[in-house]
Amino acid sequence: MSTQAGSEVKVFLRTRPTANFAENLIEYVDGQTVNVHQKKDSRKGVVNNQLNSWSFRLDGVLHDVSQEEVYARVGRGVVLGAVEGYNGTVMCFGQTGAGKTYTITGASGSYQERGIIPRAIQEVFHEVDQRSTHTFRVQLSYLEIYNESLVDLLASLRGCPGAGPGPGGMAVVEEACGGVSIRGLSLHLVHSEEEALNLLFEGEMNRIIGTHALNKNSSRSHCIFTVHIESHSRTLSEAKYVTSKLNLVDLAGSERLGKIEPEGQMLKEAMYINKSLSFLEQAILALADRRRDHIPFRQSKLTHALKDSLGGNCNTVLVANIYGEAAHVEETLSTLRFASRMKRVQTDPIINQHTDPVLQVRKLQKEIQLLKQELSLHDTMANRMETSYETLSEAQVAEVQSQVQRFLEGSLDEINIESIRQIQEVFRQFKQALELQEQKVKAQLCQNYTLVEKDQSTADSSAAKPQSPSGTVGKVEGRRFGVGVAAPSERHIRSQSPGRTKTLRTKDLTSSPPPKADAFEDFKAEQGSEINRILKENKVVLLECRARLRELTEGVNTTKREIDSTSTTLRQWKDRQQSQGQFISADGVPVLDEAELSLVLRLRDLKTHYRQQYEELHCIKAEVNYCQHLVDQCRTRLLTEFESWYNESFLLPEEVQALLRSGGTIRPGLVPVDKALSLEEDEQEHFERRRYELLADSPSATIFYSAHNRTVKRRNYNKALSQSSVQKTTNRSSQRTKLPAILSVI
């Protein structure tokens, strides 16, 4: 996105010609500086003929300067920027009669004295004609803001798209790109300077008619004439296009209330003007302060409508119109103050570039075509066979297929790489070959084994008695399998070897065994049901023991706390007595008073109770350890047996397959099981399940769960260590008959 170097808003001063220019009060120095002197107000108790002086530095002083020069210095740069794609704003500010309308629109009926708008229109169309490389679309709108209501000065023109306020009335709306537009404001496409001028005059006429009809003062409204420009490149099929808005703004008179007290409608108008101009000033102050991230644009229609035309990414120029007479010096000062604030606003103009999606696609298609041509050119230059970058034809696909076949058989050493599409086809053919191979293996296995459907297998199983899974492969037969969604395709394979019935179980010969997690659930319900039942019972006992242990620990701790608080109370009692003097019996023996005695007795009872509880705690701890051991043992057995059963039932090791192919016998062996033997209950099972679920297809999951198991083992080992050391400590403590510290609840 192109940008112009960031700068400040440009500010010019223009004086309305007068024979009574107050030379002693307004002083122009070096064409850019204005010094203003003002007599001190005698009403404020000040000395005769004393002066206050102010100095303002601007971008230029337009004093006794023609309309043409004003346009050249103020307008031309902004207008040319707008043709390039930068937003631009020229704004006239000042008290009523100071020459704002004269500057922006000019004296009606005089070509010589035409203002910035007609000259800008002329320049825009001149540029449009000059730039034959681009097509331009120029549209106009003319908005008036009067007493905070929006008026379309071109609404009178019929048949214009967008004309008329519509059901919601006119309103300033924010656009997604951060700009603003006026809903209901008519936009008029113009093709020539003349058409555009017609619209300007039409708008001017409507402004005057409105003034009479509503009996309003024309200088009490703000007017924004906008030229909307859109340009597309003609030569390149360029999808990018630029848009810009050129706002030419004639602000309402800035004079303050006060000199003549207005009434009725005049008062209302004055209030709105004061309000909108002071909001404009606030927005400008905020814009000038780079630290501010919120600018109050929405406070008035004027500031909201000018949101994207004040500073920011817009070329902005302000003309401060003043009277040259001494009588107006106060208003002149206030105009100059506004101007110097405006000058501090920073601008960062950016070309408003957009992309036309339809053109973008067309452009990319063309680029692809060019690149293809370029590639074939390179192939020719490199003496390569003509490479096609198009989709492969049927004949080409058949050729690739044959190459892959020959490569797999070994009659072709390598496949030459020709193009990306050819490589992709090679991969596709490899995949097909692999699938074909799998089907062949399946067919081969089917020749060696009889397929038994699941229903038949279930019938068999009702007759067969379930046995321990640690026997031969044959013993697995008869078990009902629940392998989730894969169940319908489940098969029994019965060996055809005479005299020996070998049955293997598999979901499908071409697919993998059932997930271990599911198989584990099945196993627990059937072959492993007995050991699983014992495991469950042991777990229940273990849980009960733990609950008792927890309860007892809490009890011991409560007693300990009571002992501590009773001891403290007793100590405090004794301390108090020491300071107050102690009772002594007639024979000089210290006498305990009743309260103290009861504390001593209570302490003794508590200690006895504590010892009993502690003994009990010790016993129950041993019981918990024992139960834990039983549970661990059961679990290990369950898992070990499951592993054996699973391996025998579902996995066909290489040597087994070889044996099957050769018609030999199978002697299954136990597959070693790596189990964490002392995992926490449930947690262990949970992680086993997760491991089985993820093991098959995710190596990182395997690593994760191995690491987890190692951590759990280490934790349990540390726990065992710390438990034994706690035990040692408590043993030692009880030998010394000292009460242990508060115990943590297990």
Pick the closer one to Mg ion by CB: 223 or 676: 223
Which of these segments, 28-36, 97-105, 350-358, 718-726, binds ligand ADP (CB under 6 A)? Answer: 97-105
Closest distance of CB 220 from ligand ADP, Å: 10
Q: Which does 102 bind (CB under 5 to 8 A by kind): ligand ADP, Mg ion, none?
A: ligand ADP
Q: Per rule CB under 6 A, is residue 94 in the interface with ligand ADP?
A: yes
Q: Per rule CB under 6 A, is residue 107 in the interface with ligand ADP?
A: yes
Buried/exposed code over 587-625 (b: 16+ C-beta within 10 A; e: otherwise): eeeeeeeeebeebeeebeebeeebeebbeebeebbebbe
Closest distance of CB 218 from ligand ADP, Å: 8
Question: H-helix or E-strand containing 348?
Answer: none
The residue nearest ligand ADP at its CB is 99
Here's the x/- map for ligand ADP, 204-243, by CB under 6 A: it reads as: ---------------x------------------------
Q: Are 430 and 406 in contact (CB under 8 A)?
A: no
**Dihedral pair phi/psi, residue 464, rounded to 5°:** -80, 145
Which one among 12, 56, 93, 102 touches ligand ADP, defined by CB under 6 A? 102
Which one among 90, 98, 314, 556 touches ligand ADP, defined by CB under 6 A? 98
The interaxial angle of helices 529-580 and 516-525, nearest 10 deg, is 90
How far is the CA of 444 from the CAs of 25, 225, 271, 509, in angstroms? 113, 87, 98, 10
Distance CA 180, CA 170 (A): 13
What residues from 281 to 310 belong to the interface with ligand ADP (CB under 6 A)?
none
Pick the closer one to ligand ADP by CB: 67 or 243: 67
Closest distance of CB 218 from Mg ion, Å: 6
Pick the closer one to Mg ion by CB: 108 or 133: 108
Q: Which does 107 bind (CB under 5 to 8 A by kind): Mg ion, ligand ADP, none?
A: ligand ADP
Which of these segments, 90-98, 128-136, 556-564, 696-704, binds ligand ADP (CB under 6 A)? Answer: 90-98
Q: Which does 98 bind (CB under 5 to 8 A by kind): ligand ADP, Mg ion, none?
A: ligand ADP
Residues linked to residue 453 through DSSP beta bridges, in sequence order: 491
Where are the strands (E) in 611-718, listed by range? none
Beta carbons within 10 angstroms of residue 459's beta carbon: 12
Question: H-helix or E-strand containing 228?
Answer: strand 222-233
Pick the closer one to Mg ion by CB: 106 or 513: 106
Chain centre to alpha carbon of residue 463 = 63
Q: Are 345 and 38 in contact (CB under 8 A)?
A: no
Q: Per rule CB under 5 A, is residue 103 in the interface with Mg ion?
A: no
Q: Per rule CB under 6 A, is residue 97 in the interface with ligand ADP?
A: yes
Here's the x/- map for Mg ion, 211-240, by CB under 5 A: it reads as: --------x---------------------
Pick the closer one to ligand ADP by CB: 215 or 578: 215
Beta carbons within 10 angstroms of residue 210's beta carbon: 16
Q: Per rule CB under 6 A, is residue 99 in the interface with ligand ADP?
A: yes
Q: Per rule CB under 6 A, is residue 93 in the interface with ligand ADP?
A: no
Buried/exposed code over 133-162 (b: 16+ C-beta within 10 A; e: otherwise): ebebebbbbbbbbbbeebbbbbbebeebee
Closest distance of CB 64 from ligand ADP, Å: 8
**DSSP secondary structure string for all residues of 361-418:** HHHHHHHHHHHHHHHHHHHHHTTPPPPP-SPPPHHHHHHHHHHHHHHHHTS-S-----
Q: Are 124 and 112 in contact (CB under 8 A)?
A: no
Q: Per rule CB under 6 A, is residue 16 in the interface with ligand ADP?
A: yes
Structure token digits, residue 76: 């031309």
Closest distance of CB 223 from Mg ion, Å: 8
State the distance between the two ends of the chain, measured CA to CA, in whole angstroms. Answer: 68
Residues linked to residue 355 through DSSP beta bridges, in sequence order: 240
Pick the closer one to ligand ADP by CB: 100 or 188: 100
Closest distance of CB 286 from ligand ADP, Å: 26
Closest distance of CB 333 from ligand ADP, Å: 17
Closest distance of CB 100 from Mg ion, Å: 5
Here's the x/- map for Mg ion, 175-214, by CB under 5 A: it reads as: ----------------------------------------
Which one among 87, 247, 309, 321 touches ligand ADP, defined by CB under 6 A? 321
Closest distance of CB 253 from ligand ADP, Å: 6
Pick the closer one to ligand ADP by CB: 62 or 549: 62
Closest distance of CB 96 from Mg ion, Å: 7
SS3 86: strand
Distance CA 3, CA 216 (A): 42
Closest distance of CB 12 from ligand ADP, Å: 12
Which residues are CB-contacts of 682 (< 8 A; sequence separation ≥ 6)? none
Which one among 101, 332, 553, 628 touches Mg ion, defined by CB under 5 A? 101
Q: Name the nearest CA neighbour of 123 among 72, 64, 171.
A: 72
Pick the closer one to ligand ADP by CB: 328 or 539: 328
Helices (H), ranges, 581-593: none
Give the binding site for ligand ADP (CB under 6 A): 16-17, 94, 96-102, 107, 219, 253, 321
Give the binding site for Mg ion (CB under 5 A): 100-101, 219
